[in-house]
Structure 1
């Protein structure tokens, strides 16, 4: 394996990746060099690439080989292998937003016992949650034996946790039932796990091939395939759309009319943006800011950590972890994800 490498894809054709080899970066004064170690690879990472231009995800990790190429962002763990940054030491391990690459140079600021923020110039105008790196020894959520689950599920679970909190915070908008599309997706069933037993009936919609798996999770009161929408019966419904499939939204609107009290877009899958057609869009940082005001930063983190520990105990039985090593395995799994060939039960963890 080369000393340093970067995995990039054509921005306008995600099925065309390349691997660029080079010398190991050397940090300047105030910088640290991270060796990317363990990362998760899910459909969420393809979503980052699909929205790379509109949401500026391509801007986090410039490919350096031309504007037509982009480096997919991943979540995972990295170790400090060289540091010229005060307070950041060689050997420390951090969790955060990482490139599909062997190394990352960061410029740490606001360094404390919980971690740091990357103050690199090209990241200054980008969303701050993606610039935070958590030191494992100061992280309420971290457990060494949970690393695979953390790289696969933690970023999604944060969205799920805040989504469930917003729905419950609004008393389920007065609805009798909550309907999830893409119910076999990790974001959907994690939110359902949080809402289970707290009031309304939870109904999952998924493809016919994923019905059995989704039912086996026990997160939903009822699971139906998309072509069974006409069989749904509820006095009033909140729709949480994680699929972005126009036909599903149309079928629900036709079925329930005014009884569809909320239609909320939550990200996208299948590379189909869903926000434009929905009644509203869920954005996790908005609810996060509200809860920081309500509970304080420590209060929010304590609640999130407790929810994660509950969820991880269950999710460990649901996820079939598949391990890979290096750029060749990364390329293979990336193409499978882009083509929709990864089973809902599988989670791919890469050692880079």
Structure 2
């Protein structure tokens, strides 16, 4: 069997990492070997590790089959892989797919529901995990795919899906009756993609970010107003919904003090500063929940078509907002992880690793 490698992080200390080498596992009937080709690293991947226990992200790619003990975790990545070996009819060698991948050279999957659009991994350890993360989409039958946009898809597709579903849920709930929407971590990809979707459709959009990111965030043109976190006390006291992507307790406290009963909704979306934000929020947004609702409302094809249309609108402008940095090899992946974990990647930079 070909040699492979695995990058892992300590579950109790995400800055402690290891690179190991080994051989890929032999395939059983019904299994396929994917060669991980090209992945991205963003704050979203750190979120998966931070929430690895409570949201079961560590369970997607168990370390034990790779010769690692349970103290280690494999933070999931998004990217492209190619079928290196297959025992499954309809999943041919050379097929290129987009999906949830380990920080490793290879992944063994057990394809189910195989069709022209791709397949789902039906491996036993993933059976109880959220199904959207188990899908592998064939690039040949994906309405959102364009070869020249692969890096944009790696960096933004999972985030944009969250943003697309978040914006849809907000609109679906008549903007919670708010006349203003405040988004924290406004320079993050998830936040500004949601703002891009919501722009001009309803309430005034206000982005909160760190002082050093104010000018970048304003330059995007997604928000009606951008403020630094320490300027919350200048917000207009009007019915406001808070979409919290930062998890910063101080920001929530400042908003409550400023707005009082005018804070009509408080929704936790994710983490970018690694502080759990769900406990103090009024509710937690989980994209697959809204996806299931819209799959029922529109059908899966209808949802895919709407997403692809929104993605192409976004992709047409986001190319001007991002500088893609490409590095090569497992060591580069390790370095990129540590940089993103430390918050050292500027908001305009997107990290891609060719493996």
Q: Does 1:9 align with 2:9?
A: yes
Match of 2:275 in 1: 272
- Residue 190 of structure 1: how far off its partner (Å): 0.2
Offset at residue 3 of structure 1 (A): 2.8
Contact 1:176 1:234 in 2 (8 A): no
Of residues 253, 258, 270 in structure 2, which corresponds to 1:255?
Answer: 258
Partner of 2:51: 51
For 1:59-208, list aligned pairs within 5 A: 59-64=59-64, 65-208=68-211
Q: Distance in 2 between matches of 1:106 and 1:286?
A: 25
Runs of 4+ in 1 over 3 A off after TM superposition: none
Question: Are residues 1:299 and 2:302 paired?
Answer: yes
Contact 1:177 / 1:234 at 8 angstroms: preserved in 2? no
Contact 2:237–2:258 (CA<8 Å) still a contact in 1? Answer: no
Displacement of 1:235 after TM fit?
Answer: 1.7
Question: Using the alignment, how far apart are the partners of 1:263 and 1:167 within structure 2?
Answer: 12
Is 1:288 the counterpart of 2:291 in the alignment?
Answer: yes
Structure 1 gaps, min length 5: none
Distance, in Å, in 2 between the alignment partners of 1:106 and 1:283 is 25
The structure 1 residue matched to 2:234, chosen from 231, 234, 237, is: 231
Q: Distance in 1 between matches of 2:177 and 2:110?
A: 47
Shift of 1:30: 0.9
**Greater mean deviation of Cα atoms: 22-31 or 148-157:** 22-31
* 1:144-172 CA distance string (max 9 Å, x none): 01100000000000000000001111111
- Alpha-carbon distance in structure 1 between the residues aligned to 2:247 and 2:133: 24
1:267 deviates by 1.3
Q: Are 2:319 and 1:312 equivalent residues in the alignment?
A: no
Aligned to 1:213: 216
Report the CA distance between 1:75 and its aligned residue.
0.4
> C-alpha separation between the residues in 2 aligned to 1:125 and 1:86?
25
Q: What is the CA-CA distance between 1:26 and the residue it aligns to?
A: 2.6
C-alpha contact (below 8 Å) 1:29/1:84 kept by paired residues: yes
Contact 1:62 1:70 in 2 (8 A): yes
Give 5+ residue unaligned stretches, structure 2.
none
Q: Does the CA-based 8 Å contact 1:8-1:100 persist in structure 2?
A: yes
Report the TM-score, using the length of structure 2 for normalisation. Answer: 0.97
Secondary structure of 1:239's match?
strand
